[in-house]
Structure 1
Amino acid sequence: MRYMATYDLMETLRNTNQWLGATALSMASYPIFSMVPNPAFQWMAAWGEVTERTFQRMIIKPDWGIESITGEDGRDHLIKIEPVLERPFGDLIHFDVQGRADMDRRVLLVAPMSGHYATLLRSTVRSLLPDCEVYVTDWHNARDIPVSEGKFDVEDYTLYLMEFMRELGSDLHVIAVCQPAPLTLAATAYLAELDPDAQPRSLTLIGGPIDPDATPTDVTDFGRRVTMGQLEETMIQRVGFKYKGAGRKVYPGLLQLASFMSMNADRHTKAFVDQISRVAQGDASDHDPHNKFYDEYLAVMDMPAEFYLSTVERIFKGLEIARNEFVVDGHKVDIGAITNVAVKTVEGGKDDISAPGQCVAALDLCTGLPDSKKASYIEPEAGHYGIFAGRSWRNNIRPLVLEFIDANSEAPAPRNRTAPRKAKPGKPANKNAAA
């Protein structure tokens, strides 16, 4: 019960800070104060506005905000988000472009379950929609999942991915971003053994910790320093009485957010002080860069405790994927069983979370795959976020990923619709390699 009390205490503190911000904004905006103009009231109102918004968005799942795209016909096509499979811990969703014929490229975008919602990949989805049929793994907030639904660890996550791939069929290209990269690799290998016809045509792994020891970072060092007992004692709590998942053990989103913020405390502090200044001077807006970034960054979700602990113990400490010793449902998965799926890795030269070397290790594990089906790419100036969003993704990485998809499609999609191109026999998948 003390863990439930702790969970509720964190929610109480969050709610209190939101209330303090709203109160400060209301008091400083009271009409009578306009009779005696004073900059102190402007700053108080600005502090209240920023504070209220900051603590309010911590418990709200952001909307995808992708309402339409412009088609090649010059018309705007509405986007309808449809569930393909609905499961207790996560859904498979499809971004259906209304009034457009099905695209040749079918992409499953595997979103991380690492504290943020799948909407963190909003810009990635938006950039792929004009050229692909896009499917996304939409993981649920563990606080809203009743205890009766049971556990969810790295093995269950892998089985979910296998089920999603089976549902979408073999004419599929999978892109895994960050945390799910090792488990997506394992799911593909397991499919190669159990159901070869269900394997995707290509697998792109972006900034994932396939071998965390290949290039140590602060994240991997932390995983090495602490014991599993310390993690369970300090990070795991039970969901409070307010939510459907009351009693479920989780790694709380608010605790994760505190860890995220502490890694770059000075930068975040400066960002909020600057935003208060902009609000006080009337230079801020609802969708300015600060709000666009922090609306997503501060929206956190609880992670199932068993998933978090098994990730640290088996992926980071035990290196089960890196050593090709991963076991799912009692079966040892052999990554060397992948013989037909083209595999590409993408890394950021300035990635301080999954540093260069961690992800490309996947290619050495694919012992059954010919070199013509392996590819690697390093974006020199990109950090962790930049390799799947922002300018580096849009201008450099995305075109290479689409070319890789086309090179490994049965009927490659044309680069532009007015000039279809034919696949070249024996075209090497790793022509974009850079290291």
Structure 2
Amino acid sequence: MLYTLHEAAYHAATPLRFGALSLKTLWSSPANPWSDTALARNIVAMSDVFESVTRRYGKPEWGLDQVEISGVDVPVSIETVWSSPWCNLIRFRRDGSALKKAGRPADAPKVLIVAPLSGHYATLLRGTVEAWLQDFDVYITDWVNARNVPLMEGRFGFHDYIDHVRTMLEALGERAHVVAVCQPGPPVLAACALMAEDAHPQRPLSMTYMGSPIDARLSPTLTNELAEQKPFAWFRSNMIYTVPLPYAGVGRRVYPGFVQLYSFMSMNEARHREAHWAYFNDLVAGDGDSAARHEAFYDEYLSVLDLTEEFYLQTVDIVFQKHLLAKGELWHRGRRVDLSAITDIALMTVEGENDDISGVGQTQAAHGLCPNIPEAMRVLHVQAEVGHYGVFNGRRFREEIYPLARDFMNRAHGAGESGTDAERPSPRAAA
């Protein structure tokens, strides 16, 4: 019922939204003799703010048509190399001739970035992709909005996620590097363990976990405490709703993206309120640059997707309530996930000092859970003065975190190609 009411509210606001746009056009028109008055600027700004908070935000564009490498603008084309009803594996193909001009080899190591399936689109990692494009052949998981998947396609749960990660690593055709950003940490680690136990030829050379709840019992945040305090039945009763018409997935039970969005915004309600007030004032003052930055952020932040009922509830149960992977009690398709089976996959963990989603300790727990990875193949990094988002985006990510990850992967790649321990990553820890 809530989903239907949400859709009804959106459509009910449509005439008001068009009215606001008409008002903006009237009061900003050069033909209006009062367009340059304080009254007009306030009306135009008010109309802009109203339109932005009532708009339907679709999936953002990647906007990565080119990337600058060593002073050369390298064209980038986006192609889908593998797909299922639930995910598209996207490759960012760099132009070979431009790479040659930049003095870079066309045949770079492959990196699979596993984007979170937690309410936002993979485009949230645009800055993450752009960084790795400097030195690697980049692929990313582009998860599909569950409300657009017809019921006939079946269900998609936590264990299907593990299977997808494994299948996509296989699709790369060689030993690559895998990066899990936030939510994917546990299922990616499970997939790596299963591939390691099988001595799979496409098991990754390295795995990097960034702000991931590998063991959510450590340094619990408000999100973790909510998952612990509420019984499992509460999540099923209060967080799951049915997709209405006209979506292709009508009848599918989902955890709606707008519920996730409202939950996150309520955690920092004052900050969002202040941001919109500042946006209004920037519009009135004619500060286009500040207004554009606000719009760019919220265009991405307010674009959300739905999760299937089974994936959301199984993640709450497995990761945040029972902590099965951290306890060594996770079973997948009749097999116990044995993290001790990982012996030749290099491990890097990255945490943010001020992360309020995955507290410090939750991600680095992977080191203790994977006891048979040699010390020379580990990197543990805690980035000072960044929160959750800063772990994989922003200035400190570009200038401090990514160079560490790049060097870590290059050493792991060299060790994997040589088949010896001589070039394996040296131990490094930062706090």
Task: Quickly name the TM-score band, shorter chain normalised.
Answer: over 0.9
Q: Secondary structure at the match of 1:159?
A: helix
Match of 1:39?
38
Match of 1:275?
279
Q: How many residues align?
A: 421
Match of 2:6?
10
**Runs (5+) with no aligned partner, structure 2:** 100-104
Q: Which amino acid aligns with 2:131?
A: S
- Deviation of residue 98 (structure 1)? 2.1
Spell out the pairing of 1:382-421 with structure 2 (5 A cutoff): 382-410=386-414
Give the Cα–Cα distance (whole angstroms) in 1 for the partners of residues 272 and 106 of structure 2.
43
Is 1:185 matched up with 2:185? Answer: no
2:428 pairs with one of 421, 429, 432: 432
Is 1:64 matched up with 2:70? Answer: no
Give the Cα–Cα distance (whole angstroms) in 1 for the partners of residues 73 and 153 of structure 2.
41
2:95 pairs with one of 94, 98, 106: 98
CA gap of 1:40–1:226, structure 2 versus 1, over 3 A, is farther
Q: Which amino acid aligns with 2:329?
A: E
Give the Cα–Cα distance (whole angstroms) in 2 for the partners of residues 70 and 353 of structure 1.
32
CA gap of 1:123–1:423, structure 2 versus 1, over 3 A, is farther
Spell out the pairing of 1:228-307 with structure 2 (5 A cutoff): 228-284=232-288, 288-307=292-311
Give the Cα–Cα distance (whole angstroms) in 1 for the partners of residues 169 and 419 of structure 2.
25
Given that residues 342 and 373 in structure 1 are in contact (C-alpha distance below 8 angstroms), is that contact kept between their aligned partners in structure 2? Answer: yes
Given that residues 202 and 343 in structure 1 are in contact (C-alpha distance below 8 angstroms), is that contact kept between their aligned partners in structure 2? Answer: yes
Match of 1:358?
362
Q: Secondary structure at the match of 1:196?
A: coil
Is 1:51 matched up with 2:42? Answer: no
Q: Secondary structure at the match of 2:4?
A: helix
CA gap of 1:260–1:430, structure 2 versus 1, over 3 A, is farther
RMSD: 2.2
- Deviation of residue 75 (structure 1)? 4.2
Given that residues 348 and 379 in structure 2 are in contact (C-alpha distance below 8 angstroms), is that contact kept between their aligned partners in structure 1? Answer: yes
- Deviation of residue 432 (structure 1)? 2.5
- Deviation of residue 359 (structure 1)? 0.4
Given that residues 400 and 432 in structure 1 are in contact (C-alpha distance below 8 angstroms), is that contact kept between their aligned partners in structure 2? Answer: no
2:211 pairs with one of 207, 213, 216: 207
**Runs (5+) with no aligned partner, structure 1:** 414-421
2:326 pairs with one of 302, 322, 326: 322
CA gap of 1:262–1:18, structure 2 versus 1, over 3 A, is farther
Q: Which amino acid aligns with 1:24?
A: A
- Deviation of residue 70 (structure 1)? 3.1
Q: Secondary structure at the match of 1:408?
A: helix
Once the two structures are overlaid, the 10-residue window that deviates more, 356-365 or 32-41, is 32-41
Match of 2:18?
22
Q: Secondary structure at the match of 1:92?
A: strand
- Deviation of residue 363 (structure 1)? 0.8
CA gap of 1:42–1:315, structure 2 versus 1, over 3 A, is same
Give the Cα–Cα distance (whole angstroms) in 2 for the partners of residues 25 and 16 of structure 1.
16
- Deviation of residue 221 (structure 1)? 0.1
Once the two structures are overlaid, the 10-residue window that deviates more, 77-86 or 12-21, is 12-21
- Deviation of residue 18 (structure 1)? 5.2
Spell out the pairing of 1:325-340 with structure 2 (5 A cutoff): 325-340=329-344
- Deviation of residue 167 (structure 1)? 1.2
Give the TM-score normalised by the residue count of structure 1: 0.91
Q: Which amino acid aligns with 2:113?
A: L
Once the two structures are overlaid, the 10-residue window that deviates more, 111-120 or 162-171, is 162-171
- Deviation of residue 406 (structure 1)? 1.2
Give the TM-score normalised by the residue count of structure 2: 0.92
Once the two structures are overlaid, the 10-residue window that deviates more, 86-95 or 75-84, is 75-84
Question: Deviation digits for residues 255-312 of structure 1, max 9, x if unmatched?
Answer: 1111111000000001001101211222135972211111111101111111111000
- Deviation of residue 122 (structure 1)? 0.1
Q: Which amino acid aligns with 1:323?
A: K
Given that residues 18 and 52 in structure 1 are in contact (C-alpha distance below 8 angstroms), is that contact kept between their aligned partners in structure 2? Answer: no
- Deviation of residue 427 (structure 1)? 4.7
Match of 1:86?
83
